[in-house]
Structure 1
Amino acid sequence: MSTRSSADGILVLTGSYTPDTGGDGAGLAALRLDAAAGHLAYERRLPPVPVSGASFLAAHPSLDVVYSTNETDPGTVSAVARQSDGALTPLGAPVGTGGANPCHLTVHPGGGWLLTANYGSDTAPGSVSVHRLDADGQVGELTDVAIHEGSGPVAGRQEGSHAHQVLVDPAGRFVLATDLGADAVFAYRLDTWSGTLKQTAVSLLRAGSGPRHLAFAPGGELVFSANELSSTVTCHRYDAETGMLAALSTVPATEAGDVINQPGGIVASPCGRFVWVSNRGADTVAAFLVTGTALEPIGEIPSGGTWPRGLTLAAGHLLVANQHSGTVAALRVLDGGHLQQAGPAASVPSVVCALVL
């Protein structure tokens, strides 16, 4: 799905927790970003779409279809299609993931498969599920569920595995899944004929780090992890031949020393020189300069709300979904990777992610 802009601005789709998943949001809601002013406002011509627990969104690479996790137990995923008049409509019914509390998903670059990370629950381990996508982008059969094993030392968070993100490496060779509970990144090969996953490697991170999300630098040689439980960011060397990560350097995610902090989203700049991380607790977005294999803190500003989660780059801005304040803020990206508050934040109750359409 290619980014579309018009005189009205850039269309941004947001996902939020709904009343049945502990939030106050509508599910999917559309905003417009005025890039010149850094201003976000509701797109009144596109009413909200009720999608339960829409905690992460992903676009199909070639069709006007968006996929959403439904963070419920048992878990499901939903698809919505963008019509020729711009309207968003459900594409089929929600489909079960074979796991609990799905929190992240991505479409395989070929467009034929949907990959979902199931966080799990007290009774269900973390896992990665695969669904077949038909020619129209509708979610079809569940073809595989890869169960994670592992645990960590942090009581209450790491008694078992908790898959938190699934993505395809830049070479399209491996499917990687972070696991917060197991302090690990699992590597898989996807059989694009059968839709099955074969585990090929496991990269173990520092005990108690709780890796949440990864962001690749351009070219794929380096990958950065936002570590939720240790409140750190790590630069790793990525081996594209094996799917293994090797930690090179680690820095604190925030310079605020008087709060309990949990990093949320992480984004690498298209040029590869900068990394940005959202900090839940400090309620900031921190900027880092990539110097060789080291990360150097270069600034940290308020996130435009409280409990910032998803980060999304859009037309020279970093969009921040602030869950507890129910606001989406646009932070202007300046030369040198620094950030600056732009226009006023838009109100989106229980928002957790944003996707540029």
Structure 2
Amino acid sequence: MAWFDRSTDPEGQPDGRDDRRGLILSLAAHGLLVLLMVVGFSSAPDNPGPVQVELWAKGTVAEAAPPQEQEEQTPPPVEEPPTPEPPTPDDNAQKAAEAQAEAVRQAAAQQAQLAEAQARAEAAAKAQADAEIALAKERKAREEAERLAQEQAAKAKAEQEAAAKAAKEKAAKEAADKAAKEKAAQEAADKAAAEQAAAEKAAADKAAKDKAAKEKAAQEKAAAEKAAAEQAAKDKAAKAAADKAAADKAAKEKAAKEAAAKREALKAAMRGDVSEAAGIPSGNADRNQRGGGGNDGYAAQVRACVQPGVIYNVPPRSGSGNPTASFRTRLSSNGAVQDVNLTSTSGDPRFDAAVRKGILACSPFPKPPSGRYPSYIDVDYRMYD
């Protein structure tokens, strides 16, 4: 029913239906109390029935007077008792006593019914009061629950908003960290590329410088040989002029020519030793630090000195290529190694380094056949024999 519907208004507060319900319950309890009182009073007779007392005189028999008519009442249906035998005087007195007792009993029953109706009315009133108190408590509890629910909802909403904000800030921080890492990685890659380019440029510059130095040395050597040839020609012309100019100077010029020839022979011998040590063709000789054609002269001695110090795991040979590392080795007057410079790389830095260590370990160098050490020796070391 709509009266017992505990609905709330749009703002979440109880409406007036709970008050109507309490009013209806109160009216029902009072109506029940009034109905019980009316039934109790209407079921009781207005006055008790008459009590008849028969007095018997000695030797006479009195007839019982007929009972007075009472107002018409609606007694509760009772079973008809069996037809009694004609009363005797003692029976009439007993009946009168019983009627009086019945009247007393009915009055007591009416009093009991009235008391019971009053008790029921009080109980109904108390129940109504308890119901109203319970309704008030229930309404208060519902309002408190609604308030707590609203507070919890507001708290949950605030926590959700805070969590969303924290997640957003965390995502932004992670994105910033990722961008910073990517930037740092890119900068490191750029730096590494720049360093590699610089190293390659430095290596190219060094190779160019080494090549230029080698070419310059070759030019200087050619110029020296040309100057020596020109000087020889001049010496020869001077000798011829001296021979023609004065006979007395012939012996002196001859001695000078012989001395010059000895110097040239010594230089040629030294150049031949240097060429043999460097693996440069000289006449019919062709030498290599790790073997080759020709005889077992000075080149074999240098090879035997350098090879033990070259510590390198030579890979299996593939193809006809033979990587060669070329070094210019500067020597002191006693053959000690003063400096070792790479003039031509083999293409393998580890092999170049191993050959350089072998040359440094060969100190002093074997003594040349001429007995004098040159200022430098160019050493070509091939990876494969």
- The TM-score normalised by the length of structure 1 is 0.21
TM-score, structure 2 length as denominator?
A: 0.20
Higher percent of residues as helix: 2
If you compute each CA radius of gyration, which structure gives the higher value, 1 or 2?
2
